[in-house]
Amino acid sequence: MLDEKKIRLMTKIARYEQNEGKEDLRIAGYYRSDFIASALLKNFVLTTVGYAAVVILYLASRGDSFLEELEFVHLIMMAVVIAAGYLIALVCYSGAVYILESLRYSRAQKDVRAYDAWLVSLEKLYGNEKEGNTGERRAKPKSRRRKA
């Protein structure tokens, strides 16, 4: 006889595993600090590359006028402005990444805890089926591992 409760629970578990569960289980496999550190490292590299590309494009667009105004004082001022802009961009993007990835990790942990609870419920349903309707619990089989 088919148990409708088990079928619904197995369907819910399968749907979760095939959709958002893949990403949630991957995220939950990390420690929080490691997950956020890898996201921040990726952010650092991408921000650096993106900012360098923007600066190069800006300097290339002002090529002639840039070379005409090339004096040591202007060069130092431009380097300070570029460095300050880079630091501001890096801090802003890193703060946003930290907040978003912390929320993402928390949500994944919450969803994986619910997934684990579904698995425990399913295991109990199967345990009740194997025990029969008497309500008696079977003794656990002895472990086959050798003792050291």
Does 89 reside within a domain?
yes
Q: What is the pLDDT of residue 141?
A: 46
CA–CA distance, 96 with 91 (Å, rounded to integer): 9
In a domain, 95, yes or no: yes
Global pTM value = 0.72
pLDDT of residue 107: 94
Residues 6+ apart with CB under 8 A from 122: 6, 9, 10, 13
Which range marks the domain in which residue 60 is found?
Answer: 4-127
Per-residue pLDDT of the chain (148 residues; tens, 9 = 90+): 467 888 888 888 899 889 888 899 899 999 999 999 999 999 999 999 999 999 999 888 887 777 777 788 888 998 999 999 999 999 999 999 999 999 999 999 999 999 999 899 888 888 877 766 544 454 454 444 444 4
| Number of independent structural domains in the chain | 1
CA dist., res. 148 & res. 1, Å (int): 45
pLDDT for 134: 46
Residue 57 lies in a domain: yes
